[in-house]
Structure 1
Amino acid sequence: MRPAQRRKMILNTAIVIAGIAAGILSGYLLGEGLAERKADADIKAAEKKLYRIQEQLQEVNQQLEESGAVEDAALAERMKEFEDGIPWNMTLVNAENPMQEGYVPELAEVENGYSVDARIAEDLNAMLAAARADGCQPQICSAYRSVEKQVQVFNDTVNSWISQGSSFWDAYQRTTQEVALPGTSEHGIGLAVDIVSSQYAELDAKQAETMEAQWLQEHCYEYGFILRYPPEKQSLTGIIYEPWHYRYVGREMAQKIKESGLTLEEYLGKTY
């Protein structure tokens, strides 16, 4: 990871955790008008919790710095080649390769109020139309997300785990397996789209059993898309199996990646 990218990831992590901490503290502050004494005690408890979160933030930042310090030379060389001209449709965005700071693609609206990089809209619409012609009922549930939106999604997921009884650290760790840190999500470059069945819209492993998911996995490459986070590949992608998450790489590259059986990380490592 390049130094500027690593600093950006650390900053995004700080924003995320600060947002969670603010939510915890504000929750206590809301009670002040109802019972002043109880609110004072709650605020002190919240301040202690915030202090612990700040310590955890320092630990996260240290881990990120250490992971960057041991970056292998081969990856650095591939990133140089990427900067020198890997096609836009093969851009790699993940925890080790944050998106370019400030980048916003030219967007085109597709359906349900969602937008994607304008260059993929035609193929995406064609894929959805073909699926519907075959009797499927796919629907987009997420597409382009700004970094600010990604912060919100990440924070909401952390808070959801906390509300279910997880500690902050466990909630954070679980969330990183499901949701990319802000600045490291393909949704931010407009090339990723989440598609579910209109009959079953849950984002879980059962989504793979729907007719829509099965159709997409069989035909998505014909329209330039790949299943970005396939099963049993988490150690390579850093993300759990997501049968709803499709990434545009172009028709030619999608065909090659499908035939290779590789993830995008693996394919780029062998090709560029």
Structure 2
Amino acid sequence: MAKIEKLALAASPTDKAQATAKKLSQAHDFVSMAEADAVVVLGGDGFMLQTLHQMIEDEHILPAFGMNRGTVGFLMNKVEASRLPILDRVNRARSFEVSPLMMTAETQSGEIVSTCAINEVSLLRETRQTAKLEIKVGAKVRIPELMCDGVLVATPAGSTAYNFSANGPILPLGCGLLALTPISAFRPRRWRGAILPDHLPIEIRSLDADKRPVSAVADQREIRDIAKIRVEVAHERDLTLMFDRGHSLDERIVGEQFAI
């Protein structure tokens, strides 16, 4: 990556993030997103996802260096990890490419909605009735009828989030794989999910949708009363996350698998 000379700053509205923004702004002259080579993001994982989604929507994608002013901070660096000036710290960071998912959803009324997800796309039952879903991977129907609370497709960056809580696998960055994970599968009861090459599109169709309605959620955006969705990797919208050396995302992904 070319040397970064101009930084933008994005901070969540929390007191903690705003206090850090004020301190950084006293030591560095930040520029607008339009002028910047990279953006420093202050907040938690939710605010980082919000910032990344906004850059995708604006079609102006910058490398993002997160500093944790939230709770978990899996996608963020520790604020206290370095005494270097922020520009030097960003230039010394390691960069990781993160490929978002593109979900194209069709509702029961025929509306078509397309949106990106950086962590996961999930299909969830809307009522007490178990969802009935057909799972197609590539050109082949793999599960004609899955009865469950839902199912999700997770990227490597998102594999430690909802996917991991649903007993899905943790995927290393750069592996070229996606996790397809059921949520409380009832039938087939023994199916625990699949690890799939990310070049294969995944299509999920709601069976008996009138009686068993389902909603689709792409990160934080929900679309209700789904007939079917198609999920595929959107490499044309690849994102870059930056991490301090020794505190990189790939190490966190490995570490999460040994957390007790």
Higher-strand-fraction structure: 2
TM-score for both structures, normalised by structure 2 = 0.24
Which has the higher Rg, Structure 1 or Structure 2?
1
